[in-house]
């Protein structure tokens, strides 16, 4: 490991020593047992010791080692097994399953840590001259196989970890923009910005373990996108090192200089070059922040309310609603309430029963507000009317602040699930509002059909996570009770059914996880063969030798 550069566990999410536990959540084990028949008090598998893995030896040639060490310095060219394995995968469940099994694929030969843009330029040019593969790496948090080398790649595979390039370089306080190096992780970036009274407001669930460069290269979206925008809105300018040249896009609020080059870089997943820094929109830290919780009688009511919030004058930072099963999951996954909490829950339950709601069908929702006290009060009022008009009821700030405190711990649960024989992952999409309910119904049905055909139990649930004028993102979580050697066959069957349902129901292949290798098979349905042709022409034009992260997107 390199001092000052964060690195995730080789086998799972986040940092060593931190894990999900259900011991203070008495309702969780009964919930999982009821839904998928699995007893999470009994471990099915565990993580093998690293020493048991058969890590293929580095194929780095002496000549290339000398060259790379000449560029970044010997300390910053690492060939030890653990560093190479950490950089061999992202964090999709397919990655987690394979790495535990020791199915390591084409492990990179070396990981380099450039310290500045000049070193990145030298690396990219060397990749072309010496014909090796160069894969940019941020936090390695992608779940679409976006950082994995192509199986059997005969050329040397070099991963460039941007983690040393992590400084806030300048803030244009008049324009509300900051210039930041691409390798910075979320918390470090916000610490640097907030020390000067600013925030970027981009909060993906993976925030702690993902980087600015990774967000740009995957077209990321954070949970507060209803206010701050997706990364594609936030990034106003950038620098990207390409073979033989450096792309420089000055920070601009908007421009009509032909097809957007900025947009070509967004979502490029390392296929066009290495992003070294970006100008991003930043905002003054808001005076007040509040997440209000609401319940709806049905998911259809919740979707309608979110649609109306998006169309209204209300300013919200987020508006999300979970379907009934996800609501039950959230409630089961909470800590035991104290006496007051229990009484409050009983009172809420009574109220719902009096309204004639089916308690198994209720849907939990969070709506967030930021700004001055007056601003928050006013917009909360607007939202409150919409909630009421859609048969919803408010339950205050309590659940929202709990959610806020724990939001970055959720990713640890997938490793816990794997220990207990459950393969869990997520798929997300956007549709126009007109198709929001239909894609939910049909995707849940498609996933269940795939589970039945495989003869395994499983669960799929969903929430609406990001709203736009014309539609919304819905985020599906699925878990499959399969601890057999073939669990990835089950995963593939369910994942394929969900992705195809997106295509068949007016959705896109992914709203914010990108394409990588995982979503590539659906791209021609998503953007049409002509769109694929345009992308291929772009990649081949910039990188004719196929040296930059080959095999991703198309």
Q: Which spans of this chain sit near ligand FAD (rule: CB under 6 A)?
A: 90-91, 135-143, 146-147, 162, 182, 204-206, 210-211, 213-215, 217-218, 220-221, 269-270, 274-275, 411, 512-514, 549, 552
Task: Look up residue 252 and give its two tokens.
Answer: 């601009």
Nearer of residues 308 and 465 to ligand FAD, judged by Cβ: 465
Q: List phi, psi (to 5°) of 87.
A: -90, 5
Helices (runs of H) and strands (runs of E) counted in the chain = 19, 18
Query: Which residues are known to be catalytic?
Result: 475
Report the nearest approach of ligand FAD to the CB of residue 186 (Å). Answer: 9
* Residue 73: partners with Cβ closer than 8 Å, 6 or more residues away: 115
Nearer of residues 138 and 302 to ligand FAD, judged by Cβ: 138
Report the nearest approach of ligand FAD to the CB of residue 405 (Å). Answer: 17
Helices marked H in 28-61 — which ranges? Answer: 28-36
DSSP code string of 135-161 = EEESS---SSS-SPPPTT--S-EEEEE
Report the nearest approach of ligand FAD to the CB of residue 230 (Å). Answer: 8
* Residue 504: partners with Cβ closer than 8 Å, 6 or more residues away: 442
Nearer of residues 140 and 458 to ligand FAD, judged by Cβ: 140
Report the nearest approach of ligand FAD to the CB of residue 535 (Å). Answer: 14
Report the nearest approach of ligand FAD to the CB of residue 105 (Å). Answer: 15
Helices marked H in 19-133 — which ranges? Answer: 28-36, 62-72, 81-86, 93-101, 117-130
Q: Do residues 272 and 136 touch, judged by C-beta distance below 8 A?
A: no
* Best CA proximity match to 320, nearest among 428, 409, 211, 210: 428
Nearer of residues 224 and 308 to ligand FAD, judged by Cβ: 224
Reported residue count of the chain is 554
Place of tokens 């098979």: 521
3-state class of 527 per DSSP?
Answer: helix
Task: Look up residue 125 and give its two tokens.
Answer: 């040019």
Report the nearest approach of ligand FAD to the CB of residue 337 (Å). Answer: 27
Question: Which residues are 247's β-sheet partners?
Answer: 240
Rounded CA-CA distance 191/194 in Å is 5
Considering only the C-alpha atoms of the chain, give the largest distance between any 2 of them, rounded to a whole number of Å: 77
Report the nearest approach of ligand FAD to the CB of residue 122 (Å). Answer: 16
Nearer of residues 76 and 137 to ligand FAD, judged by Cβ: 137
Report the nearest approach of ligand FAD to the CB of residue 313 (Å). Answer: 27
Report the nearest approach of ligand FAD to the CB of residue 174 (Å). Answer: 27
Rounded CA-CA distance 359/88 in Å is 45
Helices marked H in 146-200 — which ranges? Answer: 186-194
- 340 secondary structure, DSSP code: H
Reading phi first (left if > 0) and then psi (alpha if -120 to 50, else beta), residue 267 is in left
Q: List phi, psi (to 5°) of 444.
A: -60, -45
Name the packing angle between helices 93-101 and 487-504 (round to 10°).
Answer: 170
Q: Count Cβ atoms within 10 A of the Cβ of residue 125 and give its class: 0-12 exposed, 13-18 middle, 19 or more buried.
A: middle
Residue nearest to ligand FAD (CB): 214
Q: Count Cβ atoms within 10 A of the Cβ of residue 54 and give its class: 0-12 exposed, 13-18 middle, 19 or more buried.
A: exposed
Residue 49: count other Cβ atoms within 10 Å of its Cβ. 7
- 476 secondary structure, DSSP code: E
β-strand pairing of 457-467 with 471-481: antiparallel
Q: Do residues 491 and 474 touch, judged by C-beta distance below 8 A?
A: no
Report the nearest approach of ligand FAD to the CB of residue 214 (Å). Answer: 2
Nearer of residues 501 and 549 to ligand FAD, judged by Cβ: 549
Quote the strand ranges of 265-415, DSSP E.
Answer: 274-281, 283-284, 288-296, 318-322, 363-371, 392-396
């Amino acid at each position: 490991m390199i001092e000052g550069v964060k690195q995730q566990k080789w086998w799972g999410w986040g940092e060593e020593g931190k894990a999900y536990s259900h011991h203070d959540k008495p309702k969780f084990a009964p919930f999982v047992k009821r839904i998928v028949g699995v007893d999470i008090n009994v471990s099915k598998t565990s993580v093998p010791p690293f020493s048991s893995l058969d890590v293929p030896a580095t194929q780095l040639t002496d000549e290339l080692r000398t060259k790379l060490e000449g560029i970044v310095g010997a300390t910053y060219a690492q060939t030890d097994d653990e560093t190479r394995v950490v950089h061999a995968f992202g964090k999709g469940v397919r990655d987690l399953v394979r790495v535990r099994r020791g199915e390591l694929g084409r492990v990179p030969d070396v990981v380099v840590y450039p310290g500045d843009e000049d070193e990145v330029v030298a690396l990219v040019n060397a990749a072309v001259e010496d014909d090796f593969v160069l894969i940019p790496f941020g936090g390695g948090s992608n779940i679409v196989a976006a950082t994995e080398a192509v199986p059997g790649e005969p050329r040397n595979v070099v991963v460039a970890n941007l983690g040393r390039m992590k400084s806030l370089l300048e803030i244009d306080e008049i324009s509300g923009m900051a210039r930041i190096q691409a390798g910075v992780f979320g918390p470090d970036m916000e610490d640097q910005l907030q020390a000067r009274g600013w925030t970027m407001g981009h909060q993906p669930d993976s925030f702690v373990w993902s980087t600015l460069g990774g967000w740009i290269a995957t077209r990321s979206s954070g949970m507060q996108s209803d206010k701050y925008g997706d990364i594609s809105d936030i990034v106003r300018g950038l620098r990207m090192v390409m073979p033989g040249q450096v792309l420089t896009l000055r920070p601009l609020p908007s421009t009509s200089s032909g097809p957007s080059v900025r947009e070509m870089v967004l979502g490029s997943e390392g296929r066009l070059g290495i992003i070294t820094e970006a100008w991003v929109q930043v905002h003054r830290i808001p005076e007040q922040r509040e997440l209000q919780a609401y319940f709806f009688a049905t998911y259809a009511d919740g979707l309608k309310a979110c649609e109306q919030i998006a169309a209204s004058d209300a300013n919200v930072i987020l508006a999300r609603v979970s379907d009934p099963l996800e609501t039950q999951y959230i409630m089961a996954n909470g800590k035991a309430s104290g006496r007051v909490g229990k009484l409050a829950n009983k009172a809420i339950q009574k109220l719902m029963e009096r309204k004639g709601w089916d308690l198994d069908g209720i849907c939990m929702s969070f709506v967030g507000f930021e700004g001055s006290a007056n601003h928050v009060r006013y917009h909360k009022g607007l939202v409150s009317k919409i909630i009421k008009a859609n048969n919803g009821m408010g339950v205050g700030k309590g659940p929202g602040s709990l959610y806020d405190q724990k939001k970055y711990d959720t990713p640890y649960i997938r490793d816990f699930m794997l220990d207990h024989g459950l393969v869990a992952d997520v798929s997300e999409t956007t549709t126009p509002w007109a198709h929001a309910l239909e894609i939910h119904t049909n995707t849940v049905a498609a996933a269940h059909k795939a589970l039945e055909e495989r003869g395994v139990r499983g669960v799929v649930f969903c929430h609406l996570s990001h709203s736009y004028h014309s539609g919304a993102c819905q985020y599906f979580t699925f878990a499959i009770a399969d601890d057999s050697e073939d669990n990835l066959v089950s995963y593939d069957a369910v994942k394929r059914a969900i992705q195809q349902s997106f295509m068949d129901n007016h959705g896109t292949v992914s709203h914010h996880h990108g394409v990588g290798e995982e979503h590539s098979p659906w791209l021609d349905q998503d953007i049409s063969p002509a769109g694929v042709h345009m992308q291929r022409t772009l990649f081949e034009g910039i990188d004719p030798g196929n040296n930059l992260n080959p095999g991703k997107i198309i």
